[in-house]
Structure 1
Amino acid sequence: MSNAPLLVLLAAAAIWPFGRDRDREKPVEPTGTIKDLERATVEVDTQAPIVGSEAKAMESYRLFLDVASDDPVLKAEAMRRLADLQLETADAEELATNLQALGTLGSTIEMYEQLLTSYPNYAKNDLVLYQLARAYEAEGRIDESLATLDRLIEEYPRTAHLDEAQFRRGETLFVQKRYGESERAYAYVVGVGESSAFYEQSLYKHGWALFKQQEYDESLTSFFALLDRQLGTDNDASGDRDPAVLYSAMGRAQQELVDDTFRVLSIGFSYLDGPESISRHFNRRGARPYSFIAYTNLGDLYLEQERYQDAADAYHAFVELDPYHAKAPLLQVEVIEAFKKGAFADLVLEGKESFVETYGPGSPYWQRFTFEQQPEVVAHLKSNVTDLAAYHHAQAQATRDADEYAAAARWYRTYLQSFPDDANAGATNFLLAEVLYESGSFRDAAFEYERTAYAYPFHDTAGEAGYAALLAYAKHEEQLTGAPRAEWHRRGIDSALKFAETYPAHAEAGTVQTDAAEKLFALGEFRRARDVGRQVVARVPPVEPALQRTAWTVVAHSEFDLADFAAAETAYLQLAAFVPVGDPERGEITERIASSIYKQGEQARTAGQLGAAVDHFLRVGQAAPASQVRATAQYDAGAALIQMGDWQRATSVLEDFRTAFPDHALAADVTTKLAVAYVEAGNSARAAGEFERIADGDGPVEVRREALWRSAELYETTGQGAAAAAAFGRFVYRYPSPVAEAVEARQKLIDMSGAAGNHAERARWMRDLVAADAAAGAERTDRT
Structure 2
Amino acid sequence: MNLPIRLIWLLCLLASPALAQDSFRMELGRDGETIGDMRPVFLKFEARSLPDISPAEVARRYRALFQSSDEPEVRVDALNRLSNLRDRSGRDIGYSIEDEQRIYQEVLGSYESILARGSFSGRLDELLYQMAKAHALTGQSEESIERLKQLVGLYPKSGLVPEARFRMAEAAFAHGHYEEAEVHYQALLESGESGGLQAKARYMLGWSQFKQGDVAWDRAGQTFLAVLDEFLPSVDSLASIAPSSVDTIDDTFRVLAIMAARRDGPATLAEWLEGTPSRPCAYLLFDRLADFFAVNGDVEASVATNLYFVRYQPEHPHIPLFLAQVVSVWEQAGHQTRIREAKASYLARFAGDPEYSRLTGKEQSRWRTYARELAEVHYRQGTSLLEANPQGAGQAAFARAAGYYESLAARVDDAGPEFRLAGDARLQAGDYAAALANFRQSAYQTDDHAEGADAGWAGLVLLRDGLDGALNGPGFRPDLSTLSDETDRFRSRYGDDARLPGLLADIASRWLSAGQLEAALGYASAAASHGLSSTRERYVAWQVVAEARQQQGDYALAERAWQQVLQVTDSAGNGPEIRDAVTQQLATAIYRQGERAASQGQVATAVRHFQRIEPVLPNSELAISGRFDAANTLLKASELPTAIRELERFRQDFPGHRLSDRISDKLVHAYAESGQPLRAAEELLSQADTAVEPWPLRLRAAELFHQAEAWPRRNPIYSSYLATGPQVADADHHVQLQTFRHRLIEAGVDEQRLRAELVRSELASQFHSQQTLTWAARSSLALGARAAASFSAIALTAPLDAALERKHKALELARQRFLDAERLAGEQVRSESLYRRAELYRIMAQDLMASSVPAELNELEAMQYQMLLEEEAFPFEEKAIRLHSENHQRISSQGYDAWIGKSLSALAALNPGRYERAVRWMSWIPETSDDV
1-side partners of 2:344 and 2:98: how far apart?
Answer: 70
Deviation at 1:224, TM superposition (A): 0.7
What letter is aligned with 2:166? F
What letter is aligned with 1:149? L
**Aligned ranges 1:306-345 → 2 under 5 Å:** 306-328=297-319, 330-332=321-323
**Is residue 300–residue 311 contact of structure 1 (8 Å, CA) maintained in 2?**
yes
2-side partners of 1:372 and 1:100: how far apart?
Answer: 57
1-side partners of 2:575 and 2:182: how far apart?
Answer: 112
Q: Are residue 376 (structure 1) and residue 377 (structure 2) matched? A: no
2-side partners of 1:696 and 1:309: how far apart?
Answer: 108
| Equivalent in the alignment of 2:900 | none
What letter is aligned with 2:46? D
| Equivalent in the alignment of 2:893 | none
| Equivalent in the alignment of 1:85 | 82
Q: Are residue 478 (structure 1) and residue 468 (structure 2) matched? A: yes
| Equivalent in the alignment of 2:102 | 106
What letter is aligned with 1:247? L
What letter is aligned with 1:469? G
The gaps in structure 2 that reach 5 residues or longer are 1-18, 594-611, 618-627, 645-932
Distance 1:228 1:515, change over 3 A: same
Deviation at 1:421, TM superposition (A): 3.6
What letter is aligned with 2:187? Y
| Equivalent in the alignment of 1:223 | 224
What letter is aligned with 1:260? D
Distance 1:449 1:249, change over 3 A: same
Distance 1:528 1:77, change over 3 A: farther
**Is residue 31–residue 39 contact of structure 2 (8 Å, CA) maintained in 1?**
no
**Is residue 216–residue 272 contact of structure 1 (8 Å, CA) maintained in 2?**
no
Q: Are residue 445 (structure 1) and residue 435 (structure 2) matched? A: yes
| Equivalent in the alignment of 2:480 | 489
**Aligned ranges 1:521-670 → 2 under 5 Å:** 523-525=517-519, 528-529=522-523, 532-533=526-527, 536-537=530-531, 539=532, 545-547=535-537, 550=540, 578=571, 585=579
Deviation at 1:207, TM superposition (A): 0.8
1-side partners of 2:613 and 2:540: how far apart?
Answer: 26
2-side partners of 1:342 and 1:591: how far apart?
Answer: 74
**Is residue 80–residue 115 contact of structure 1 (8 Å, CA) maintained in 2?**
no
**Is residue 562–residue 585 contact of structure 2 (8 Å, CA) maintained in 1?**
no
Q: Provide the secondary structure at the position in 2 that maps to 1:525.
A: helix
Distance 1:198 1:533, change over 3 A: same
The gaps in structure 1 that reach 5 residues or longer are 1-15, 233-240, 600-623, 630-662, 670-694, 701-784
| Equivalent in the alignment of 2:266 | 275
1-side partners of 2:271 and 2:357: how far apart?
Answer: 31
Deviation at 1:394, TM superposition (A): 3.6
Q: Which moved more, 1:407-416 or 1:554-563?
A: 554-563
The one of 446, 462, 474 equivalent to 1:456 is 446
1-side partners of 2:366 and 2:262: how far apart?
Answer: 35
| Equivalent in the alignment of 2:290 | 299
| Equivalent in the alignment of 2:207 | 208
Deviation at 1:200, TM superposition (A): 1.6
2-side partners of 1:199 and 1:436: how far apart?
Answer: 65
State which structure, 1 or 2, has the greater radius of gyration over its C-alpha atoms.
2
Distance 1:338 1:78, change over 3 A: closer
1-side partners of 2:138 and 2:20: how far apart?
Answer: 16
Deviation at 1:208, TM superposition (A): 0.9
TM-score of the pair, normalised by structure 2: 0.49
**Is residue 436–residue 442 contact of structure 1 (8 Å, CA) maintained in 2?**
yes
2-side partners of 1:494 and 1:421: how far apart?
Answer: 29
**Is residue 21–residue 90 contact of structure 2 (8 Å, CA) maintained in 1?**
no
Q: Which moved more, 1:274-283 or 1:371-380?
A: 371-380
2-side partners of 1:559 and 1:696: how far apart?
Answer: 35
Deviation at 1:438, TM superposition (A): 3.4
**Aligned ranges 1:240-255 → 2 under 5 Å:** 241-242=234-235, 245-255=236-246
Distance 1:571 1:52, change over 3 A: farther
2-side partners of 1:29 and 1:185: how far apart?
Answer: 22
1-side partners of 2:30 and 2:497: how far apart?
Answer: 60
**Is residue 356–residue 385 contact of structure 1 (8 Å, CA) maintained in 2?**
no
**Is residue 450–residue 466 contact of structure 1 (8 Å, CA) maintained in 2?**
yes
2-side partners of 1:573 and 1:478: how far apart?
Answer: 29
Deviations 1:252-300 (A, max 9, x none): 4423322221211111122333333223222265552333333333333
What letter is aligned with 2:269? I
Q: Percent identity?
A: 20
Distance 1:94 1:284, change over 3 A: closer
| Equivalent in the alignment of 1:199 | 198
**Is residue 61–residue 79 contact of structure 1 (8 Å, CA) maintained in 2?**
no
| Equivalent in the alignment of 1:691 | none
Deviations 1:112-140 (A, max 9, x none): 86367448443434334434544554565
Deviations 1:705-735 (A, max 9, x none): xxxxxxxxxxxxxxxxxxxxxxxxxxxxxxx
Distance 1:377 1:401, change over 3 A: farther
| Equivalent in the alignment of 2:158 | 159
**Aligned ranges 1:716-731 → 2 under 5 Å:** none
Distance 1:440 1:414, change over 3 A: closer
**Is residue 266–residue 294 contact of structure 1 (8 Å, CA) maintained in 2?**
yes
**Aligned ranges 1:761-776 → 2 under 5 Å:** none
| Equivalent in the alignment of 1:266 | 257
**Is residue 493–residue 519 contact of structure 1 (8 Å, CA) maintained in 2?**
no
2-side partners of 1:157 and 1:93: how far apart?
Answer: 28
**Is residue 520–residue 528 contact of structure 1 (8 Å, CA) maintained in 2?**
no
2-side partners of 1:345 and 1:290: how far apart?
Answer: 32
Q: Which moved more, 1:553-562 or 1:197-206?
A: 553-562
Deviations 1:611-656 (A, max 9, x none): xxxxxxxxxxxxx999759xxxxxxxxxxxxxxxxxxxxxxxxxxx
2-side partners of 1:504 and 1:21: how far apart?
Answer: 84
**Is residue 336–residue 351 contact of structure 1 (8 Å, CA) maintained in 2?**
yes
Distance 1:356 1:36, change over 3 A: farther
Deviations 1:508-536 (A, max 9, x none): 45644554565567743367436633663
Deviation at 1:426, TM superposition (A): 4.6
Deviation at 1:439, TM superposition (A): 4.8
Deviations 1:517-569 (A, max 9, x none): 655677433674366336632x4xxx655446556777899999899999989
What letter is aligned with 2:296? Q
Paired residues in the alignment total 579
**Is residue 58–residue 86 contact of structure 1 (8 Å, CA) maintained in 2?**
no
Deviations 1:283-333 (A, max 9, x none): 265552333333333333233333344444433333343333334455455
Deviation at 1:590, TM superposition (A): 13
2-side partners of 1:63 and 1:591: how far apart?
Answer: 133
**Aligned ranges 1:134-173 → 2 under 5 Å:** 134=133, 137-138=136-137, 142-173=141-172
1-side partners of 2:180 and 2:344: how far apart?
Answer: 53
The one of 264, 288, 292 equivalent to 2:279 is 288
**Aligned ranges 1:738-749 → 2 under 5 Å:** none
TM-score of the pair, normalised by structure 1: 0.57
Q: Provide the secondary structure at the position in 1 that maps to 2:479.
A: helix
Q: Provide the secondary structure at the position in 1 that maps to 2:207.
A: helix
Deviation at 1:450, TM superposition (A): 2.5
2-side partners of 1:418 and 1:255: how far apart?
Answer: 41
Deviation at 1:226, TM superposition (A): 0.7
2-side partners of 1:139 and 1:505: how far apart?
Answer: 98
Deviation at 1:94, TM superposition (A): 6.1
Deviation at 1:169, TM superposition (A): 2.9
Q: Which moved more, 1:443-452 or 1:257-266?
A: 443-452
Q: Provide the secondary structure at the position in 1 that maps to 2:271.
A: helix
2-side partners of 1:144 and 1:110: how far apart?
Answer: 16
RMSD between aligned alpha carbons?
Answer: 5.9
